[in-house]
């Protein structure tokens, strides 16, 4: 009993010591310039949006927020850099489903732990793909597409920008979910893959919005669905795949999540989360996100973001196993 009393007293003293320290951290933060590491190249939708909210974060926090692009190794260079940064809130990184929910299954080895090395700040947009076909393919909607794909001999060919990439994973997810066959044709870049669908060299693919919308509007591609569970603001007439196929559980999207290193103090995390909620909740910021082919969303709480990312890991991990891609990269 005496030992228990001593332990309780020690714990109480520890909590008393921690509480003022946490308040001091919150009051002193930020104490220097902040950095946002963008895990893909300059000029992309992720980069454009990060620069917009970095400017607003700077105004809110009273310190410069510097955006640095660190593309490469399927977003793993940026992830590794920030995983090893000081956990004080001054270094953040924008990561996607690849870094946080897919790479750990695809690669034999990665140099960071997606489950243990990061704390989320904001999950603010989803990045859907668009299912397109060459206009000569005799299908007008998703149900016709699935029926046609099931009957087509030889099977349809579909594009991606490489095995294990999100375009590849998304079509494989659809194939497994709806029971049709299609042959994977990998390309080095999205532009060439879209050009070959237009030219009729390949039939179909889940492709990026920015690379396909101009050709859709010109009638060179036919858009059948978006891979998100909600409509894409730039193509409001195109149904979500889930709605078009009558499958409410179907969604295949990437997303942008602002993260800090694990062990960043909770008051700092809470401050950054609150500021990002204000910034990304602004109607003008939502419009800017929509205008570059993204779907703005209201970020869950920090705990809610963790739960969502965990569910994505389970979903994509199961698919990677099912199609035999575990550890192939």
Q: Where are the alpha helices (DSSP H) in the chain?
A: 2-28, 45-61, 76-83, 97, 103-106, 142-151, 166-178, 190-199, 209-217, 241-245, 266-281, 283-291, 302-322
Q: Are residues 121 and 266 in the same domain?
A: yes
Domain C-terminal end among 245, 275, 297: 245
Q: Are residues 258 and 119 in the same domain?
A: yes
Q: Are residues 150 and 56 in the same domain?
A: no
Would you say 293 and 126 are in contact if contact means Cβ atoms under 8 Å apart? no
> What's this model's pTM, rounded to 2 decimal places?
0.88
Q: What are phi and psi of 298, to 5 degrees?
A: -80, 120
Ordered per-residue pLDDT tens for the chain, 329 residues: 444 444 544 444 444 444 444 444 556 899 999 999 999 999 889 999 999 999 999 999 999 999 999 998 888 999 999 999 999 999 999 999 999 999 999 999 999 999 999 999 999 999 999 999 999 999 999 999 999 999 999 999 999 998 888 999 999 999 999 999 999 999 988 899 999 999 999 999 999 998 899 999 999 999 999 999 999 999 999 999 999 999 998 999 999 999 999 999 999 999 999 999 999 999 999 999 999 999 999 999 999 999 999 999 999 999 999 989 898 88
Domain for residue 7, yes or no? Answer: no
Rounded distance between C-alpha atoms, residue 36 and residue 65, angstroms:
7
Domain for residue 22, yes or no? Answer: no
**Which residue in 48, 87, 21, 3 sits closest to 260, CA to CA?**
87
Q: Are residues 119 and 133 in the same domain?
A: no
Q: What are phi and psi of 15, to 5 degrees?
A: -65, -40
Structure tokens at 21: 């320290």
Q: Are residues 280 and 220 in the same domain?
A: no
Would you say 149 and 114 are in contact if contact means Cβ atoms under 8 Å apart? no
User: Rounded to the nearest 5 degrees, what angle is found at the Cα of 318, between the Cα atoms of 241 and 114?
Assistant: 100
Domain for residue 207, yes or no? Answer: yes
**Which residue in 66, 67, 120 sits closest to 96, CA to CA?**
120
């Amino acid at each position: 009993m005496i030992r228990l009393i001593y332990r309780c007293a020690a714990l109480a003293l520890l909590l008393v010591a921690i509480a003022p320290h946490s308040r001091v951290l919150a009051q002193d933060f930020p104490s220097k310039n902040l950095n946002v590491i963008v895990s893909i190249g300059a000029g992309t939708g992720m980069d454009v949006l990060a620069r917009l909210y970095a400017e607003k974060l700077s105004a809110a926090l009273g310190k410069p927020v510097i955006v640095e692009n660190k593309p490469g190794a399927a977003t793993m260079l940026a992830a590794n850099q920030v995983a090893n940064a000081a956990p004080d809130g001054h270094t953040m990184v924008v990561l996607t489903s690849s870094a946080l929910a897919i790479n750990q299954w695809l690669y034999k080895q990665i140099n960071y732990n997606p489950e243990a090395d990061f704390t989320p700040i904001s999950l603010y947009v989803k990045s859907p793909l668009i299912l397109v076909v060459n206009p000569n393919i005799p299908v007008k909607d998703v149900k016709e597409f699935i029926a046609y794909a099931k009957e087509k001999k030889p099977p349809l060919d579909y594009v991606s920008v490489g095995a294990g990439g999100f375009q590849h994973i998304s079509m494989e997810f659809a194939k497994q979910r709806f029971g049709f066959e299609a042959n994977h044709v990998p390309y080095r870049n999205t532009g060439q893959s879209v050009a070959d669908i237009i030219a009729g060299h390949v039939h179909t693919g889940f492709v990026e919005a920015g690379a396909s919308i101009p050709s859709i509007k010109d009638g060179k591609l036919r858009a059948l669905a978006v891979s998100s569970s909600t409509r894409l603001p730039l193509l409001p007439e195109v149904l979500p795949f889930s709605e078009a196929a009558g499958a409410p559980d179907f969604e295949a999207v990437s997303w942008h999540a602002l993260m800090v290193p694990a062990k960043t103090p909770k008051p700092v995390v809470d401050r950054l989360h609150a500021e990002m909620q204000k910034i990304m909740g602004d109607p003008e910021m939502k419009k800017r996100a929509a205008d570059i082919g993204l779907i703005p969303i209201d970020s869950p709480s920090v705990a809610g973001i963790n739960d969502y990312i965990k569910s994505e890991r389970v979903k994509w991990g199961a698919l990677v196993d099912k199609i035999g891609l575990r550890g192939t990269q």
